[in-house]
Structure 1
Amino acid sequence: MRMSELSRRSGVSVTTIKYYLREGLLAPGRQTSATQAEYDEQHLRRLRLIRALTGVRGLPVSTARQVLDAVGGHTGDPHVLLGLVLGAISLADEPSEASAGTAEVDALVAELGWEVHTGAPARTALAEAIAALRSLGAPVDRHTLLPYARLAERTAVLDLDQLDGLEDPLEAAERALLLTVLLEPALLALRRLAQQNESARRNA
């Protein structure tokens, strides 16, 4: 396809596509003349990944390039792929000091028997959330969070089931981004709807 069609199908302007080409985020197309090139489905998928990273997640171009370079060099284990996506995304996050909730997170992970990297950004986010809740007088600890963690385990099974059978690394990376970045607002919305329904049921 020509760049104009690539732009139409991806929703990315020609000017932005040219910028991505200059910055090395998008591979050059197959030259058909001195001023024309052909692009394929891989370019389209790559553009969708770039949009997810820079648009939805808000990563700077340099960090998005690191994510895509890491994913592009991966051809094997989906567990490693998911780690690359999550780990690369965390490059944009400023490191923070251990919060008052860190010990509770460590204890919760140990009680669950989860294999989670000690530097996982989600550990810090959870610890900070626990500390903030406690500062407001909410009695939150690992025992309070345990039932929620069990629900999260079930959600993770559904998530990872969607990566099974995907042999194309770029397609798997796109799906991993969908699960880790783009699906989260939908899951939060579902929780809000469920809370509204439960409140109506209890107070009808």
Structure 2
Amino acid sequence: MRLSELSERSGVSTATIKYYLREGLLAPGRRISATTAEYGEDHLRRLRVVRTLLQVGGLSVAAAAKVLKHVDDESLGRTIRLGAALWALPHPPAPDAQEGDEAQLTARREVDLLLEELGWESARELAPLNPDHTALVESVASLIRTGYPWNAEMMTPYARMMRQVAVHDLDFTETYPSETEQVEAAVAATILLEPILRAMHRLAQQEETVRRYGIT
């Protein structure tokens, strides 16, 4: 398809598509003349991913390009390729380390106990590098500081349920034919599903409250 058709089918203006091409968010089309290129279904698919990153995920163009660079890196194995792309997504800034912060020290111990209990060895090994591990520790520390004694035992059932969510995630991504498409789908699903999971969690809480206590 020509650029005009790609724009019409994707709902993205030709000027914006050209901008994405210049910024490396979209691979060049197949050149058929000095001034014309042809685009395929993979370009249409990538535009959906780009719009998800920018419009739903709120990433800057530079941040999206960094994520997609890992998505497209065929020199990496699938696990590292996906992990690198997910780690490149925005995370809360790591807090400044405060010596003697008991809440953070306790939170780190409880998270370590949680990972040991679950047998999540790779998560334990990569903890120093993993921004999600840092975010979990800080979230638990915040709960402890506000008077909620969150610990490994309380987190374990939640973590086991999230493991099942991860199984469904990867089952979904494996419906795509190529490894690149699978990694793209995993990144897009991470952004798109998190608000859905949050909303379902709150609806479930409301439903369980009504089941236990009735409507009064």
Superposition TM-score, scaled by structure 1 size = 0.88
% identical equivalent positions? 48
Given that residues 110 and 152 in structure 2 are in contact (C-alpha distance below 8 angstroms), is that contact kept between their aligned partners in structure 1? yes
The higher relative CO (CA closer than 8 Å, separation ≥ 6) is in: 1
Between the two proteins, the alignment pairs up a number of residues equal to: 203
The match for 2:109 is: 103
1:191 aligns with 2:197: no
5+ residue gaps, structure 2, are 98-102
Look up the equivalent residue of 1:112 and give its one-letter code. L
Distance of 1:54 and 1:5 partners within structure 2: 22
Which SS does the other structure have where 1:89 is aligned? coil
RMSD: 2.2
The match for 1:47 is: 47
Deviation at 1:165, TM superposition (A): 5.3
Distance of 1:22 and 1:69 partners within structure 2: 14
Given that residues 32 and 38 in structure 1 are in contact (C-alpha distance below 8 angstroms), is that contact kept between their aligned partners in structure 2? yes
Distance of 2:96 and 2:74 partners within structure 1: 31
Given that residues 130 and 140 in structure 1 are in contact (C-alpha distance below 8 angstroms), is that contact kept between their aligned partners in structure 2? yes
Deviation at 1:43, TM superposition (A): 1.0
Deviation at 1:78, TM superposition (A): 3.5
1:8 to 1:188, Cα distance in 2 relative to 1, 3 A: same
Deviation at 1:166, TM superposition (A): 3.7
Which SS does the other structure have where 1:183 is aligned? helix
Given that residues 85 and 176 in structure 1 are in contact (C-alpha distance below 8 angstroms), is that contact kept between their aligned partners in structure 2? no
Which SS does the other structure have where 2:88 is aligned? helix
The match for 1:112 is: 118
Look up the equivalent residue of 1:106 and give its one-letter code. D
Deviation at 1:199, TM superposition (A): 0.9
One of 120, 128, 132 as aligned partner of 1:122? 132
Deviation at 1:107, TM superposition (A): 2.1
5+ residue gaps, structure 1, are none
1:54 to 1:93, Cα distance in 2 relative to 1, 3 A: farther
Look up the equivalent residue of 2:7 and give its one-letter code. S
Q: Deviations over 1:20-45 (max 9, x none)?
A: 11222222222334433221111112
Aligned 1:16-165 pairs, distance under 5 A? 16-74=16-74, 77-89=77-89, 94-97=93-96, 100=104, 101-114=107-120, 115-116=122-123, 117-118=126-127, 119-164=129-174
1:56 to 1:85, Cα distance in 2 relative to 1, 3 A: same
Deviation at 1:145, TM superposition (A): 0.9
The match for 2:184 is: 174
Given that residues 7 and 17 in structure 2 are in contact (C-alpha distance below 8 angstroms), is that contact kept between their aligned partners in structure 1? yes
Which SS does the other structure have where 1:162 is aligned? helix
- Report the more deviating stretch, 176-185 or 93-102: 93-102
Distance of 1:8 and 1:49 partners within structure 2: 17
Given that residues 2 and 38 in structure 1 are in contact (C-alpha distance below 8 angstroms), is that contact kept between their aligned partners in structure 2? yes
Given that residues 81 and 173 in structure 1 are in contact (C-alpha distance below 8 angstroms), is that contact kept between their aligned partners in structure 2? yes
Distance of 2:166 and 2:35 partners within structure 1: 47
Deviation at 1:185, TM superposition (A): 0.8
Look up the equivalent residue of 2:109 and give its one-letter code. A
Distance of 1:53 and 1:77 partners within structure 2: 23
Deviation at 1:194, TM superposition (A): 0.9
